[in-house]
Amino acid sequence: MPRTPASRPNLVSVGTIVWLSSELMFFAALFAMYFTIKSVDTGRHMPWPGATLNYPLATTNTIVLILSSVTCQMGVFAVERGQVRRQGPWFTPWTPRHGWANWGLREWYVLSFLMGAYFIGGQGYEYLDLIIKQHLTLSSSNYGSVFFLTTGFHGLHVTGGLIAFLFLLGRTFAAKRLTHELQTSAIVVSYYWHFVDVVWIGLFTTIYLLPLTGK
């Protein structure tokens, strides 16, 4: 029987996964720092959290970021079927041949970008509230240090994802046709975006939800 040639994994995708694994270790160190400093502060009977957090804003931000991961994956599905741009009207009733079902990679990634930008804007608004009204800064207390370090580094990663979206969207306009390299780039960007989404879920649970349970 003729042998079927073995298919090699895409080196770009493999490299991205390895790199994200190293980034995961970085965030694991931030989580370890958070819990270590928290144990020290609570051992001294210091209040934790050391600020009044905006829970409605943080919850809304979290929901938007999770939904942006969904729209990002919809863009991946579109590019996998070879669709870069929409094929039909923007908004019509959801049927197999109308509405969002006709959106391509470009439309889904633009929506994901806007939702990610909303998240960064919400985070910036909360920062201003904490700094101006509550005088919480990176150097004001242990809590301020761990709060701004953990959420700030995540915000930088989200910003990096937004830049990646812009570069990829630019390539969709510059490319005359859909290529395998463009498909791979879109999938790699989705890997990164899902990663920052999962990390934020962990941060939101740790920073916002656990203190409510007294843990």
Residue 3's pLDDT is what?
A: 46
**Ordered structural domains, the chain, with CATH:** 18-213 (1.20.120.80)
Residue 5's pLDDT is what?
A: 42
pLDDT digits (tens, 9 = 90+) for 88-147: 555 555 554 555 567 888 999 999 999 999 999 999 999 999 999 999 999 989 999 999
Residue 206's pLDDT is what?
A: 94
Residues ≥6 apart with Cβ < 8 Å to 61: 118, 119, 122, 123
Is the pTM above the cut of 0.95?
Answer: no
Tokens 């409605």, residue? 56
pLDDT: which is higher, 138 or 82: 138
Residue 2's pLDDT is what?
A: 46
User: Looking at the predicted structure, is the pLDDT value of residue 62 above 80?
Assistant: yes
CA-CA distance, 160 to 152, in Å (whole number)? Answer: 12
Helices (H), 6-54: 11-43
pLDDT digits (tens, 9 = 90+) for 137-170: 999 899 999 999 999 999 999 999 999 999 999 9
Residue 46's pLDDT is what?
A: 78
Residue 169's pLDDT is what?
A: 92
98 phi, psi to nearest 5 deg: -140, 165
Sorting pLDDT into bands at 50, 70 and 90, what band is 42? Answer: confident
177 secondary structure, DSSP code:
S
Q: Which of 185, 196, 32, 52 is nearest to 120 (CA)?
A: 196
